[in-house]
Every structure is written in structure tokens, then in C-alpha cells.
Amino acid sequence: GVTKPIVVSTWDFGVAANKAAWDILKAGGSALDAVEAGARVPEADLANMTVGKGGYPDRDGHVTLDACIMDDKGNCGSVAALENIAHPISVARMVMEKTPHVMLVGEGALQFAIENGFKQETLLTPEGEKAWKDWLKEKKYEPVINIENKSFTAEKLPGNQYNHDTIGILALDIAGNLSGACTTSGMAFKMRGRVGDSPIIGAGLYVDNEVGGATATGVGEEVIRTVGSFLVVELMRQGRSPQEACREAVERLIKKKPDTAKNIQVGFLALNKNGEYGAFSLQKGFSYAVCDEQKQDLLLPGASVY
């Protein structure tokens, strides 16, 4: 039969991203074009401090970006620790389409981006610089749970300055094909050179066009350890619903590191081949956005363990 297109993405910010993706899907465009367009929205948003331009820097003051993209044919592309380029997701797509490789990092990724016409710009905003300088006073690396979700962090953090998001986005197009994208500036004040789960195929994102796609957000180290997104897709292959699969991946993570799990956030979001979706997170406060013909930009809370 005819597939009903749908797009899902992580955090409140997914609403705006989904809108851009939906414009492509409803016109009969590909899921790949849709997820790229969606991911570019938070990347370009200066108020968003965990993605793209305006992202918080590492502990040495450098904004370094991670992103990956995967299509329905198993093609994938990724960049990690990329500096001075505002749209890492589009560089990742170019790595996928124009190179024999899957992943480029650091200087090499930058060189490739420049060769392909991307403009270099300063990504550290005055707000990002101020937050970094405040952080330098104590230098405590303590990832804030739900830093991406304004409504859950507003009481804890002054001035609403933590309004932002790392985006994972999954789409099913009218032809029944799945693609996904994931883009982030990583954990704020990370060590220089640190790479999280978001650009790692299988960890931050995985798509298998026979089964479904999954993406992760939160503390990437724990997601890498459990190859989270691949796990979610494999669980769906074995018959789990998207939410059940996400729940089991969260439980796996707790089993591996019970003490760590209590004090961090990790969330998974999944979309299967039939257009069914679901999410699950360690802590309350994870949100995701869904957009299809019926419900445009509806925001649903994910279930959580704690």
C-alpha cells in the first residue's frame, strides 16, 4: 500500500525541525532530504546551545561539532570534532555521497568542507563564551540532565540560558523509505577531542530500511558503550514495538552501569517501517516531536525509568 510519511525528532526543538522536514515529505521528497533539512534548523539556531552555531564549547573554548546521516540503502556519512562550519549534517551527507569513506574528523573534515564550498565562520557566540567563562571558575564537568529541555531546566538554571537541543531525526517518506540524521555540539565543556555517540553510526543513529530507525540523545559515553541505536533497531527486528525496544535499550544501559545511570540522562527515539514510533528515557524530561498528516508538530513526552 501507500506509505504515510512521518517524521519524528528529539526534544522540544524537534517541532521546528519536523516542520522543515515535513515540507519535503508532503511534497513527495525523500526521507534523506527531509532529515537533512530538519537537522539544519537547530544547527542554524543561535539560541540552541547544543547544536551547530551557538553550541557550547569544549573546556578550552572551541565549539566542535559531531553529526551523522544514514539513508535507506545503508549508506552513511559522518563528521566528528568539526570546527568553524555551521552545518555539519550537510558535510556528513557529502562525506556519504562524495567520498569512499564513512567518517572524517577534525582538520580533515574541515578541509573537506572548505573544498566543497562550505564557509568558515565563528561558532562561539557571546552567550556561549560567557557560559564557558562562568564554567571555568569551577571547572566541574557535570552534564546537566535535560539541558536540552527548557521546561525541565528553567528552575535549576538561571536566565533560561539553557534553551537548546541535540537533534536526532528520523523520517519515513511516501515511497516507504527510512532515513535518519543526528547533529550536536556534544556535551558542553567536554575535553578537547572528545567525541560522543552522535556521529557514531550504530550509537547515536542507526537506520535499517527493512526494520526501522533509532536515534539517541543524552550522555553519549553510555550510548556508545551499549551501541544504543543499533540495539534498538535489532530489538525492533525481533518484534519489539519502537517504545519497547527503546525501553529495553535503556534497561541494558542501567544494567551495565547502574550507578552512572541514576545521575545522567539518556533517551532513545525510534520509528519503524510501518510508521509506528516510540521513545524511552532514563530520567523524566525527555521530549520528542512527531509530525505527520494528522498531527503536525505535536509534542509527546517519552516514558522514563526514574
Q: Which of 187, 207, 270, 271 binds ligand SD4 (CB under 6 A)?
A: 187
Site string for ligand SD4, 83-122 (x = CB under 6 A): ----------------------------------------
Q: Which one of 22-30, 75-83, 152-160, 212-220 is the stretch in contact with ligand SD4 (CB under 6 A)?
A: 212-220
Q: Does 228 bind ligand SD4 (CB under 6 A)?
A: no
Q: Does 82 bind ligand SD4 (CB under 6 A)?
A: no
Q: Does 208 bind ligand SD4 (CB under 6 A)?
A: no
166 is catalytic: yes
Q: Please, which of residues 60-79 interact with ligand SD4 by CB under 6 A?
A: none
**Cross-strand bridge partners of residue 217:** 267
Q: Does 197 bind ligand SD4 (CB under 6 A)?
A: yes
Q: Does 283 bind ligand SD4 (CB under 6 A)?
A: no
Q: Does 220 bind ligand SD4 (CB under 6 A)?
A: yes
Residue 166 beta carbon to ligand SD4: minimum distance, rounded to whole angstroms? 3
| C-alpha–C-alpha distance, residues 189 and 195, integer Å | 12
For the chain, give the DSSP string. Answer: -PPPPEEEEESTTHHHHHHHHHHHHHTT--HHHHHHHHHHHHHH-TT-TTSSTT----TTS---EEEEEE-TTS-EEEEEEE-S-S-HHHHHHHHHHHSS-SEEEHHHHHHHHHHTTPPP-----HHHHHHHHHHHHH----PPTTTT-HHHHTTTSGGG------EEEEEE-TTS-EEEEEEE--STTPPTT---STTSBTTTEEEETTTEEEEEEE-HHHHHHTTHHHHHHHHHHTT--HHHHHHHHHHHHHHH-HHHHHTS-EEEEEEETTS-EEEEESSTT-EEEEEESSSSSEEEEPEE--
Q: Does 218 bind ligand SD4 (CB under 6 A)?
A: yes
Q: Please, which of residues 33-52 interact with ligand SD4 by CB under 6 A?
A: 50
Q: Which of 166, 177, 183, 226 binds ligand SD4 (CB under 6 A)?
A: 166
Number of residues that bind ligand SD4 (CB under 6 A): 13
Residue 284 beta carbon to ligand SD4: minimum distance, rounded to whole angstroms? 15
Residue 87 beta carbon to ligand SD4: minimum distance, rounded to whole angstroms? 17
- Annotated catalytic residue: which of 10, 50, 64, 166? 166
Q: Which of 9, 78, 198, 226 binds ligand SD4 (CB under 6 A)?
A: 198
